[in-house]
Amino acid sequence: MQLETQSKYNYFKLFATEFIVQTVDMTPVERSAYILLLCQAWGQSERGTLPTDDESLAKLALIKLREWQKIKARVLASFQMTDSRLQKIELVQQWEQCQLNSRHGLKGATARWEERKQNESAGSTEPNVEE
């Protein structure tokens, strides 16, 4: 259970209003566990997911197993169970959007470099700018 630390996407959007609404009835311990699990889910190799076993979740939330068992229902209320992992849909969607943005950025950069190479081979150092 290792975090993927080499990713260029080492942050996710935390929508303040949504966070407050989702955690308004949580105790400070529950809220802390929730935010830690969001961070852990973002860092997993399978983005936006967590393991399902209580021992692992307690470790990820930095609390004792006994305490975790008392609060897990409230903390995990916004996670969904998949075949073998817990999933936070919003994080999965953010990750997919990051990947899409990255592909689009790469496509644009590649096109610019190709144009630059063509201009250089044609003897022009000026970019081809359409008016």
pLDDT given for residue 59 in this prediction = 97
Query: Does 79 have pLDDT greater than 80?
Result: yes
pLDDT given for residue 110 in this prediction = 64
Q: What is the mean pLDDT of the chain?
A: 83
CA distance 64 to 7: 29
pLDDT given for residue 109 in this prediction = 61
pLDDT given for residue 116 in this prediction = 73
Q: Which domains does the chain have, with CATH numbers?
A: 16-93 (1.10.10)
Write out pLDDT tens, residues 84-129: 999 998 888 887 887 776 665 565 566 567 677 677 777 665 555 5
pTM of the model: 0.70
Confidence of residue 4 (pLDDT cuts 50, 70, 90): low
Nearest to 94 by CA among 56, 39, 21, 52: 39
Residue 126 burial (C-beta neighbours within 10 Å; 0-12, 13-18, 19+): exposed
